[in-house]
Structure 1
């Protein structure tokens, strides 16, 4: 990474000026916010997105991260334009309903392809440049990587697998590149739209957190003076992360109790994917 200068943030960050950053999913809610913040601090930010928007705060190149050739060519173009790479932020991700009791269909495959394999492809295309700069990789994971919610099996599986990939990557290139996983909880964004449309809203199951806190944490991972392995985005998230890793039976009971209350309240009535779940809960009571 570029030689650090005294931080202007007062939070122990390196100076962002001149730092070369690549952000995937750069036209989405998280990507736009991260890109705008880093650019405002003086970083040279390039984004990748399947559908760049006309009002993106940074330059965004069209890229399909599910396509090997698209990733190889577009990442090379981005790195060439910036003259190297110091930080990769694997932010691109999609969500949607998927019941664990049902066979995986197109929705499950889509989430695994984008959330896990897309990040893997982009990282592989960036590895040489990151090793050369002794840079960093930031993986946008999720609280659901460690604390699963029902009826979202594909998303949780993809994010847990992303953490496993990050762990393997850290062992392979950690002598030269810092690798950090960030664990936000729920933030209001279009990623939840398909779940809500299926009658499986997160309202009452997850506590929403502010976008700014997620952006702050991503910057801490990308620019902090010390490389952190894992970073929660709130104090509550840090507690959940600790409990899920060290006392998983406790978090299982918390989620199960919340779920049972939602079912008793009729939250999933009429939701096809939840039909088996609600029937089993009601017959067991």
Structure 2
């Protein structure tokens, strides 16, 4: 008779044991980061975080760090890794969104999103690679469904996340002999990341179906704990379908999104939103052959 499994081993199934894993999470005080840190710590992992503004209620130690600062990042990462006595997993979770129509020139908002979503992850990863190579570790990138299926009026977010995936692909080619790299593709989750877009009158409520935070966290934990790392992971069945269509039938997803945008523009969803004035005007104009 085989020995009875412990509750933890039953929970883990074919996954590796999280106890003692040394994990660094960026954006650790945000909606995703706090939940990821809490779940990993509860499973026995040793977790440290970095965030621009740590919170007193954080479930793990979080160091203050601006990941857009070239000099601050290596110092903060070194402190975090020293506190963990090494590093097995880096979770690049930090990210921001905001209004950025593609038809308008890029300004401070666009640069902010690229500097955090792409270059911030790049800076942190570069600072961690020596320790990850030594431990044969793992990098998990929080990408987005918008990395493969762009929604309107938020070009900077989608473009920065698509660029993050391209960076992950390059990293995988360069260090894949020693470090695995997984991209996770959540859809929309209700969190403060959408506040600035809504405040600008560009809410995409009717264009995106929200998913529960718990499913995203479960997928990230799967990316961390699977014995065999996966290249890409979606967070819902709907997300898997969207990912497949966007990768293999992009013209289909383009038409679906364009039709949904047209309906919303004609319904007055963007009324009074200066940044969407071009979209509203084009969809309000009579057909060319009228």
Aligned pairs (5 A) from 1:40-189: 40-189=42-191
Distance in structure 2 (CA, Å) of the matches to 1:259 and 1:12: 43
Distance in structure 1 (CA, Å) of the matches to 2:286 and 2:250: 23
TM-superposed deviation, 1:240: 0.4
TM-superposed deviation, 1:132: 0.5
- Farther off after superposition, 275-284 or 182-191: 275-284
Contact conserved, 1:7 with 1:14, CA < 8 A, in 2? no
Give 1 or 2 for the bigger CA radius of gyration. 2
Task: Identify if the C-alpha distance between structure 1 residues 135 and 8 changes in structure 2 by more than 3 Å, giving closer, same or farther.
Answer: farther
What secondary structure, in the 3-state scheme, does the structure 1 residue paired with 2:62 have? strand
TM-score by length of 1: 0.97
TM-superposed deviation, 1:225: 1.2
What secondary structure, in the 3-state scheme, does the structure 1 residue paired with 2:24 have? strand
Provide the aligned length of Structure 1 versus Structure 2: 281
Distance in structure 2 (CA, Å) of the matches to 1:136 and 1:113: 23
TM-score by length of 2: 0.95
Q: Deviations over 1:203-237 (max 9, x none)?
A: 11100000000000001111111110000000100
Q: Deviations over 1:119-161 (max 9, x none)?
A: 0000000001000000100000000000001100000000000
Distance in structure 2 (CA, Å) of the matches to 1:238 and 1:12: 22
Partner in structure 1 of residue 218 of structure 2: 216
Distance in structure 2 (CA, Å) of the matches to 1:187 and 1:8: 29
| Aligned-residue CA RMSD (Å) | 1.1
TM-superposed deviation, 1:12: 2.5
Q: Where do 4+ consecutive residues of structure 1 move more than 3 Å?
A: 5-8
TM-superposed deviation, 1:7: 3.6
Distance in structure 2 (CA, Å) of the matches to 1:150 and 1:142: 14
Q: Deviations over 1:225-270 (max 9, x none)?
A: 1110000000100110010010000000110111111112110011
Question: Which one of the candidate residues 1, 12, 15 is aligned to 2:14?
Answer: 12
What secondary structure, in the 3-state scheme, does the structure 2 residue paired with 1:204 have? helix
Distance in structure 1 (CA, Å) of the matches to 2:165 and 2:187: 15
Q: Deviations over 1:175-196 (max 9, x none)?
A: 1111000000000000000000
TM-superposed deviation, 1:11: 4.3
